[in-house]
Structure 1
Amino acid sequence: MLHVDGSSSKHGSGIGIRLTSPTGEILEQSFRLNFHASNNEAEYEALIAGIRLAQGIGVRKIRTFYDLQLVACQFNGEYEAKDGRMGSYLKVFRELVQKFDDFELTRIPRGENTSADTLAALALTSDPDLRRTIPVEFIERPSIEEVEGVRLINPPKQEPESDEVIAMDEDASTAELEYGCDKEWLGAIRVYIADGEVPTDKWEARKLKAQAARYVLVDGEVFKWRFSGPLMTCIERPEARKIMHEVHSGACGNHFSGRSLAIKIKQHGYFWRTMVKDCKKFTVEADSYASIKDAQVEHFIWKNIIYRHGVLYEIVTDNGSQFISTRFEAFCEKWKIRLSKSTPRYPQGNRQAEAANKTILDGLKKRLDAKKGRWADELEGVLWSHRTTPRRATGETPFALVYGAECVIPPRWISQVFDEDFCRDKRA
């Protein structure tokens, strides 16, 4: 289903598109028109852009909902498009519609088209440099002025001239701002502590002075005071991203949750102002569900991956039933996502690691009984037992597979233990 709406005012023109799949996935987008357009022209631009978006993702059957009577009646032949521009728009629209196997245009009340109207208002009233989850793109020329029959919504850009390279790089860097650490924030604090310079605005100066009281400058580097412990090194931009990656999934990483990741980074002596928020955004790799089936997996990938980062090239999974089901394979095939299964050589990918952890947990439960808080004291013994117990699949112990020989307790130590036990029994 496709809901579209266009809006025009003295501030400019914008259009909104909401495309809903039969399985419930929703794709929303806003466009700002970089040319003067009447309200009727903006409505036609919304229809044409929505149709092109649907064709771009391979839709063959579509129902389009619209709230403007003029366009619906012109398309059905009830009204005649006497104006030359309206006739040109109608011609382009009909040519695009013929490429669908099934197309239906339905006029609905404006109150039932609020989602598309909101998206159109977003493009119309928002800042042109706004960055949001719903991208605001631009249509440079009227659709009826295109020479070719079909134009992509985001056509490939031409190679920049040598004098344009720097400007484009700056725009690209602005578009990549995802985390608060990507914004420069240490400069003002460093200048105030070193030279006492403050902004001209009274309230901004007051805010900066209050913030700078928590920091100190040592050899040109900014550090943050702590209630206890050493000073924390203040960082920003790529360095903060690198530290999040290393602590979260590096050599000693444990895939912490957002807040736990921020606390761990502080323990390592690093700090930036938005670290808790950034760490929560960085660790969106797990979500809670009452049951994990193919429908929940599909919803998670659509919401947390495709919506945020775009369509994937490949997904590597274990052999769980929810990942090899017909529905999930059809979902990957629909979006041209390569679905790969892991091999037994990677224990974390085929539940061997989960089985080992389950064995260790069972051993701890048997030793602890009611004293649940002493698991750390018993962990070493449980691990040793696990490593020296033969596995049914191989007939060998993990210790022997690693070192090539079984673990043997020294005879002297066995004799000493036996003598102590014997004397204890005699005294008893």
Structure 2
Amino acid sequence: MVVKTTQERSHCDDLKEIFEQIQSYNMRLNPEKCAFGVQGGKFFGFMLISRGIEANPKKCEAILNMASPKTMKETTECDKAFVELKTILSSPPVLQRPVVGKPLYLYLSISNRSISSDLVIETGKTQQPVYFISRVMQPMEQRYLRIEQLALTLVFQPRSALKAQILADFITELTPDEHNKTWKLHVDRASSREGSGAGIILKEGDEVVAKQALQFHFSASNNQAEYEALIAGLKLALSHQVQSLTAHCDSLLVVQQIRGEFQVKDHLLEQYWLITKDLISKFSSFTILHVHREQNVRADILSKLAATRADTQTSALSQLTLTKPSIELLYIENINCLHDWRKPFLEYINTGTIPRDELNPQQFRRKASFYTKIAGELYRRGFSQPLLKCLSKDEAREVMDEVHEGVCGNHIGGRALATKIARTRYYWPTMKRKCIAKVKACDKCQKHEVISTKPAEVLHSMELVYGSEALIPVEIEVPTLRAELYNKQQNISARNAELDLAEEDREIAAIKQRAQKKLAERKRNKRVVPRTFMEGDLVLRRTE
């Protein structure tokens, strides 16, 4: 094992990573055979140096000390050639490492009996080898065409060193392949009066590795508890470094949603589904199966044990408590800028800016003239009271609840409720409509309301031009109860309260008017027969 680092400052980090890998596989090193911080050394018969790989001088001594052949007569040129051959064989070129960005050159060579290839890199004007291979061709390969032999040279891969290959094969065959073992996970949930819980069993083959009983300290539905159990089981399997897992669950809905056969429509379950799919992606292979409760007895017993909150902690069984749901990990706190009807008027009072989406700027200016700003709050100039405080949506709901059915509430009608709120110096644009809808939705008002005996017909409302004190001619001759009990001051107060709500009546009347116009236009267009004319068409013109 060789650890080589190009930069000295990162050598300790590389060694630390190697030692962690050795420790994770329970391997041991012989300190007497270890060397650290060396510039070069011998490895598998080769010399490793900073420049690359060189031949071992001791291995070349036999070639250097080889004597000249004595069986044949040699000349001086033969001796010189023999010495040069020994020099070349004993000093092969140093193998260089490739450099990022520099091109590599591949040389192919074939002969009648052998093939060889050489991968070189060009440094300056010289070429230095990076890797080379050569071998003798088999008799069948010697009958190939030249182009086929070149292709064989290109795709040929040499066998690695025998010593290193034997060691690698030995480790591969004898090391147990724990990561490819199939693990089984059984999950189930249970509910009782004391709470809800889940049971988890993790098995390696038929051997039980871990058992857990989860107690939920929060309210959870059946499907939510099933997802919580499955998520906890997946986390337990990942903590044991499981790669291949088969999960068994008795909830058909959860199983089909994980498989993708059922659509996840519930927003809460969708968050659980996302967490579960994220955990499943960390396994190399995952399968989930649906089983009946009878086939999931042990996990069911654990879930019931957790639901009853019994303390039975043992070495084989661990009991855990979940204080909050797993989906809280997906919650992101943010502030939503909700639409507030008061904001456009405040901006207009402060800066004189009209909203960009306003279709009728002139009408907006008229409305804004009724509002004023005091101490940062928006107020509306009223008729019944000098100033009416403008309320937001939540504040308006709170005021309606209190005035209608609070301490002083007497469950009055919708119009009376709006008038009473206006006399209390509060205002918002849809006051009358909201109050009427509030009374209609009130359960007590619907139960105890006086049943109307009037015939079913459209009621036509009419407001007198000259106020509530206006009389018809017959009432002058024959006075009615209304004329006899007339109170001018009370009539003025009621009229002012009605004027405070007149803006809303105008808006409702404008909406109805536009609706009636659309309806009349639609009826008119039904009777119109469209005709198209082109230039040059003959038309019938009536002449007098």
Asked whether the two chains share a fold, i.e. TM above 0.5, the reply is no
- TM-score under structure 1 normalisation? 0.33
Which structure dedicates a bigger proportion of its chain to strand?
2
Tell which structure's C-alpha radius of gyration is larger. Answer: 2
TM-score scaled by length of structure 2: 0.26
Which structure has the higher relative contact order (CA within 8 Å, separation 6+)? 1
